[in-house]
A and B are shown apart, each in its own frame.
Chain A
């Protein structure tokens, strides 16, 4: 099985320090903020997600009725192409040249920015981290902290090059430079695009959670607001937000609540002073119904994109976000990518885990990530077994069922193993213990005499 070359990330001391300290800080804040009812909240959230996804058709139809009753429009997109085509056409029809966007992994998933660029529309990311990356031509490194790997100096370099600003390395100063540049874009933009953290079926509302205020501005300043969301983001009732908003903010950034929580229902109505004139909700499938059909792995769709599993994953913390093949990195990416793309796409992914279980322990909606990783490994083997490995496990299993052979063969295998294959790989990193003269069973026999 081919595995990616991660030596560049592992050997980059500056990068290692940036990842390790930023994820440690997020993890520590999370621990400080979670309350004694945290386990209860997690179970409650899991149960709500389970119920909703088990009855997804019902809640999506209810959502659609309620969005349209409030003057919004729902667009069902079976894949990224359909979602992008709708937005391209809408922008063309309304003569939109500039679009402001707030952070959305779903639009990253469908490469919306690239599709808009193709038809000559400028889509500007307005989340500070996303903006930095867009200027520098990079992709999100982390689900919630996209520019986690960038130092203040890196950001200053990017701003100097693309915004022609002066050297500035204070976070306040850098934010100010971005704010001035972005303010122009907000005023210019004919359309705002956001994701959605939650879709509330009983109110026909979308909920956006953020810390910078740019999502609120993207959804209210331009005349048109388009929200793009996966179909799994629906929750039944507004009152369920009491559970999810707490869990999301605490798990993601260790805040009691995020700074801005926007509850957006439809377009501006008569007599209202502000808000967009048109509101569209693009509901994206893009493979989600296929995941939904798999009952034992369906819970992969419960994810609320908090990023806690990344912050606690010892593998993510070593290799960083760019060694994962798709937009979703870390443990959640390891289970989503094979299910969205097919296990044959990157078969190594579910194997790149020590199965330490830290991801499952912190997941706010209790997705059993380690169990799903194990199932995906088994799927990979069932689909496309590695002949040599299959053969060695067959021999291994036979030996393990025949204790007399095992007792004789195991010591031989240990003392005479040539330094190739797995032994060589082990020795590339650490020493091997010296095999003992006698096994436990030998010592026990001697003792019993």
Chain B
């Protein structure tokens, strides 16, 4: 049995707990043994991206200690996953623990398609869905087709592409509050593209992007809903015995 340690990220832990529960459900249904290490907190990205490398380094160290010995670490966020697999090395150059960790950290969809070789989890979902490529998943982790294949195999789900799926939603962590007007302009361009598809649901693999998109949709009084891929894949899926 594949043993998976969840890193749910601070955003999912505190703001979108159902995404974490959905991810656990899908992984268990796919035959994994899932654990959650309570000492986990954050991937250190907010400090790293803001230029506070000393503070980021101590949080990265905490992550390394927490996940010592984990066989696979699965993360419901391309951005946090990339922080660990791509940027920890910049914070802690030459640290063997980072080197050992890199090949064991996977974003959720990537773990399903690349490690478990699962493209159909047996879920069903009724509706027209469009997929937003989150930037770090797309450009740093090269995740493009995997989530789409998983969605296309969901019964009842029809996937429609927006014309600018790869354009940033404008979240960017602290960028969203340091430059709110630019960030707001970017997300409004994004929701225009989403609306043009006619989809009723927009799906992504990063809850932070979805928080930004949902916030703008709500502000515009749109009926379109955002869902994390894990929530779609957990839909009508029986919990593992």
Bits for B1-43, please: 1 = Cβ < 8 Å to A, else 0. Answer: 0000000101011111110110010000000000010111110
| Distance of A31 from chain B, by nearest CB (Å) | 11
Does A273 interact with chain B (Cβ within 8 Å)? no
In contact, B175 and A353 (Cβ under 8 angstroms): yes
**Residue from A353, A393, A429, A444 in contact with B184 in the complex, judged by beta carbons closer than 8 Å:** A429
* Interface hit among B109-117, B133-141, B145-153: B133-141
Closest chain A CB from B196 CB (angstroms): 14
Contact A429 B183 (CB under 8 A): yes
B14:A403 contact, CB within 8 angstroms: no
Known A406-B41, A426-B176; contact A381-B50, beta-carbon cutoff 8 A: yes
CB-CB under 8 A from A1, the residues of chain B are 178
Closest-by-CB residue of A relative to B57 is A397
Given contacts A378-B53, A393-B50, A444-B36, contact A422 B21 (CB under 8 A): no
* Whole-angstrom CA separation of A389 from B47 in the bound complex: 10
A318 touches B15 (CB 8 A): no
B121 at the interface (CB under 8 A from A): no
A400 interfacial contact with B, CB 8 Å: yes
- The answer on a CB contact under 8 Å between A440 and B168 is no
Interface residues of A in 353-398 (CB under 8 A from B): 353-358, 360-361, 371, 374, 377-382, 389-390, 393-394, 396-397
Question: Which one of B98-106, B123-131, B197-205, B215-223 contacts A?
Answer: B215-223
Scan B30-73; emit 1 where CB is below 8 A from any A CB, else 0: 00000010111110101111111101101100100000000000
Q: Give chain B residues whose Cβ lies under 8 Å from the Cβ of A444.
A: 20-21, 24, 36
Partner of A393, one of B14, B52, B136, B216: B52
Asked if A358 and B139 make an inter-chain contact with CB atoms under 8 angstroms apart, the answer reads: yes
Question: Inside 8 A of A260's CB, which chain B residues have their CB?
Answer: none
The verdict on A411 contacting chain B, using a C-beta distance below 8 Å, is: yes
Q: Is the interface of B mostly helix, strand, loop or mixed?
A: helix
Mask for A332-364, Cβ within 8 A of B = 1, else 0? 000000000000000010011111111011000
The answer to whether A360 and B59 have CB atoms under 8 Å apart is no
Determine how close the nearest CB of chain A comes to the CB of B58; give it in whole angstroms. 5
B156 at the interface (CB under 8 A from A): no
Residues of A within 8 A of B20 (CB): 440, 443-444
Residue of A nearest to B12 (CB): A440
Query: In the complex, what distance in Å separates the CA atom of A422 from the CA atom of B177?
Result: 5
* Cα A120 to Cα B49 with chains together (Å): 49
CB distance from B49 to the nearest CB of A (A): 6
B44 and A400 contact, CB distance less than 8 A: yes
Contacts of B62 in A (CB 8 A): 400-401
Interchain CB contact under 8 A, B139 and A315: no
Closest Cβ of chain B to A418, distance in Å, is: 14
Which residues of chain A come closer than 8 Å to B168, judged between CB atoms?
Answer: 314, 354, 356, 358
Q: Does B122 contact A (CB under 8 A)?
A: no
Q: Evaluate contact between B58 and A414: CB separation under 8 angstroms.
A: no
* CB <8 Å contact, A319 and B182: yes
State the Cβ distance, B210 to closest chain A Cβ, in Å: 9
**Quick check: A426 and B48 within 8 Å, CB to CB?**
no
Which of these binds chain B: A3-11, A57-65, A73-81, A153-161? A3-11
* Chain A residues positioned under 8 Å from B140 (CB to CB): 357
Q: Is the CB of A430 within 8 A of B216?
A: yes
User: Quick check: is A270 within 8 A (CB to CB) of the other chain?
Assistant: no
- Of A142-150, A249-257, A431-439, which binds chain B? A431-439
Set A6, A397, A410, A443: member contacting B181, Cβ < 8 A: A6
Nearest A residue (CB) for B18:
A436
Contact of B170 with A314 in the complex, beta carbons under 8 Å? yes
In the complex, what distance in Å separates the CA atom of A81 from the CA atom of B204? 52
Check B214 for interface membership: any CB of A closer than 8 A. Answer: yes
Q: How far apart are B241's CB and chain A's nearest CB, in angstroms?
A: 14
Chain A, 395-432, contact with B by CB distance < 8 Å: what is the 0/1 string?
Answer: 01101110100110011001000000110011011111
Known: A354-B171, A443-B17, A444-B36. A429 touches B211 (CB 8 A): no
Closest CB in chain A relative to B234 CB, distance in Å = 13
Taking the complex as formed, is B186 at the interface, i.e. its CB lies under 8 A from any CB of chain A?
yes
Which one of A354, A374, A432 has the greatest number of beta carbons of chain B within 10 Å? A354
Taken together as a complex, chains A and B put the C-alpha atoms of A247 and B17 apart, in Å, by 46
Alpha-carbon gap, A425 to B175, bound state (A): 11
Residue of A nearest to B182 (CB): A318
- Complex Cα distance A449/B41, Å? 22
Contacts of A164 in B (CB 8 A): none
Interface, chain A (partner B; CB < 8 A):
1, 3, 6-7, 10, 20, 314-315, 318-319, 348, 351-358, 360-361, 371, 374, 377-382, 389-390, 393-394, 396-397, 399-401, 403, 406-407, 410-411, 414, 421-422, 425-426, 428-433, 435-436, 438-444, 447
**A-B pairs, 5 with minimum CB distance:** A354-B172, A429-B184, A430-B215, A377-B51, A356-B168
Q: A6-B182, A318-B182, A422-B177 are in contact. List 7 more A-B contacts (CB 8 A).
A: A355-B175, A358-B168, A389-B52, A393-B55, A394-B55, A430-B216, A431-B214
Q: List 22 A-B contacts (CB under 8 A).
A: A314-B170, A351-B174, A351-B179, A378-B53, A393-B47, A397-B47, A401-B59, A406-B10, A411-B14, A425-B177, A425-B178, A426-B215, A429-B187, A431-B214, A436-B14, A436-B17, A439-B14, A440-B12, A442-B17, A443-B17, A444-B24, A444-B36
